[in-house]
């Protein structure tokens, strides 16, 4: 049941973002651009509705087939079992969310360097080359290519 709720919430998030984007695109000056986005929007909405409907139908049919027994775990017990079985996934998700929160504060390059180092460490890498040198070199190349050559703007923070 928890998976179905998460899937429905994710689909509703996609639908909300799509609606917001659809209304923003309606202000574009050319008819063709608005029309292309409109077609894609309505196809996406169709897929979202069909997918939510199939999730609900599967849930209802499973409820009808299974009768609740005395030994079946509660929703909170299932959630705790899910958390216990996916600890590394939750740690990686937490690291990613902290990275996203750090970008406005520390800037893109500082946050990306820290994210790469912490992620490598969380994935059992203990060599200095993988923790410090590789992210440093990759970010230096990204900085040179995008900022120096293409004059792209990255989010700036307190540090860089």
| pLDDT tens-digit series, residues 122-148 | 888 888 888 889 999 999 999 998 888
Taking the domains of the chain in order of start, what are their residue ranges?
2-65, 87-149
- CA atoms of 45 and 36, how far apart (whole Å): 14
Helix 75-85, helix 2-25: angle, nearest 10: 80
Distances (CA, A) of 12 to 17, 37, 52, 55: 9, 19, 9, 13
pLDDT band of residue 112 (cuts 50, 70, 90) is very high
Q: Which residues pair with 107 in a beta bridge?
A: 156
pTM of the model: 0.51
């Amino acid at each position: 049941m928890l998976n179905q709720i998460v899937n429905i919430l994710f689909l509703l998030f996609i639908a909300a973002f799509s609606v917001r984007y659809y209304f923003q695109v309606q202000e574009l000056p050319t008819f063709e651009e608005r029309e292309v986005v409109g077609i894609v929007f309505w196809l996406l909405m169709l897929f979202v509705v069909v997918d939510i409907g199939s999730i609900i139908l599967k849930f209802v049919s499973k409820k009808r087939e299974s009768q609740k027994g005395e030994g079946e775990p509660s929703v909170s017990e299932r959630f705790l079992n899910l958390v216990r079985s996916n600890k590394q996934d939750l740690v990686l998700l937490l690291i990613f969310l902290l990275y996203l929160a750090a970008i406005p504060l520390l800037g893109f390059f500082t946050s990306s360097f820290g994210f790469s180092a912490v992620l490598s460490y969380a994935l059992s890498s203990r060599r200095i080359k993988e923790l410090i040198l590789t992210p440093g070199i990759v970010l230096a190349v990204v900085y040179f290519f995008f900022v120096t050559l293409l004059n792209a703007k990255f989010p700036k923070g307190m540090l860089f």
